[in-house]
Structure 1
Amino acid sequence: MDLDFSELRQLVAALDQTDIAELTLKNPQFELTLRKATAPSQAVVLSPDAAATIPPGAPMVAPPAAAPAVEPVATPPAASASDLYEITSPMVGTFYRSPAPDEPPFVDTGDRIKPGQTVCIIEAMKLMNELEAEISGEIVEVLVQNAEPVEFGQPLMRVKQS
């Protein structure tokens, strides 16, 4: 899949006309992630391989070495339980605990997690977005049932940070 600057500009414009917050395209040569910024402009993130093919002066931002497709948000669930964090949904979609119906869940209550480990999938607009842990700890509670719809910011799991 070759993508020239004109096609990239058209893709950004088309994304701007939808309510899609993020779009990721992958192939062996590059990975392209388009995210709508909270400000009026869009943020475009490219892998290092793809960034080399974009003309100088194009409004691009180089990603960190291994940026996840979707970044989960960890927030304390309550002031009284300062060692518990909630992994929340970064988007509206459908929550999946495992990569396929016949496969075991990514994590379960009592499992230890570490940063970068996939904890679930949120499907949005037929795109499967893996959520990765940002903290180390133990899963204390899974708050959502498999294949259940979730909202932006909805708590998915509670983690006892270690």
Structure 2
Amino acid sequence: MDIKEIQNLIKFVAKSGASEVKLEMDDVKITIKTGSDAPETKIIQAAMPAAPQMMAAPQPVASEPATPAAPAAPKATEDESKYLTIKSPIIGTLYRKPSPDKPVFVEVGSEIKAGDTVCIIEAMKLFNEIESEVSGKIVKVLVDDSSPVEFDQPLFLVDPS
């Protein structure tokens, strides 16, 4: 990873609103913390290869995400409480298709099983297939193709029955 990629990552994290992002690749560990005037970046060179997980969960700021989500929460629980939610495990750009000329992985009405790929999230030029942890029927797609997503952002609603 070169300095230009690190600078782009810092800019991306600062714009995303995440308070902390940890990235572990081969022998490099990067932690980016935001919340002050300037983002803080810590880079560690390690002798041992890191875990295969590319991005760990950023720690959300308790006051900011709760405020915008609070008005929508009561409506969501009334109408959609029986549905399970597939959420984004990382921040990045969501793609609903494996390539531009292929059909989408899932759409409303698609039957899925645990382990089925539902979308791809690109993070730092790495394409991560997002697999469903639940089985059921897709009832709502919450994110548009090629749009940025945040950690723990709802992507799909699934009817498990």
Q: TM-score, normalised by structure 2?
A: 0.56
List alignment gaps of at least 5 residues for structure 1. 1-9, 20-31, 39-76
Q: CA RMSD in A?
A: 2.3
Equivalent residue for 1:158? Answer: 157
**Alignment partner of 2:90: what SS?**
coil
Distance change (3 Å), C-alpha of 1:102 and 1:83: same
| Residues in 2 aligned to 1:130 and 1:37: alpha-carbon distance in whole angstroms | 16
Equivalent residue for 1:45? Answer: none
**Alignment partner of 1:33: what SS?**
coil
Query: Between the two proteins, what is the percent identity of the paired residues?
Result: 50
Equivalent residue for 2:65? Answer: none
Distance change (3 Å), C-alpha of 1:89 and 1:37: closer
1:91 paired to 2:90: yes
Q: Is the contact between residue 56 and residue 90 of structure 2 (CA under 8 Å) also seen in structure 1? A: no
Q: Is the contact between residue 98 and residue 105 of structure 2 (CA under 8 Å) also seen in structure 1? A: yes
One of 25, 33, 36 as aligned partner of 2:52: 33
**Alignment partner of 1:78: what SS?**
helix
| Residues in 2 aligned to 1:133 and 1:145: alpha-carbon distance in whole angstroms | 18
Matches within 5 A, 1:11-26: 11-12=26-27, 14=28, 16-19=29-32
Equivalent residue for 1:130? Answer: 129
Q: How far off its partner does 1:98 sit?
A: 0.7
Deviations 1:11-40 (A, max 9, x none): 34x1x2355xxxxxxxxxxxx7145667xx
| Residues in 1 aligned to 2:52 and 2:128: alpha-carbon distance in whole angstroms | 12
More displaced 10-residue stretch of structure 1: 103-112 or 82-91: 82-91
**Alignment partner of 2:86: what SS?**
strand
More helix by share: 2
List alignment gaps of at least 5 residues for structure 2. 1-24, 33-50, 58-75
Equivalent residue for 1:78? Answer: 77
Matches within 5 A, 1:101-112: 101-112=100-111
Equivalent residue for 2:44? Answer: none
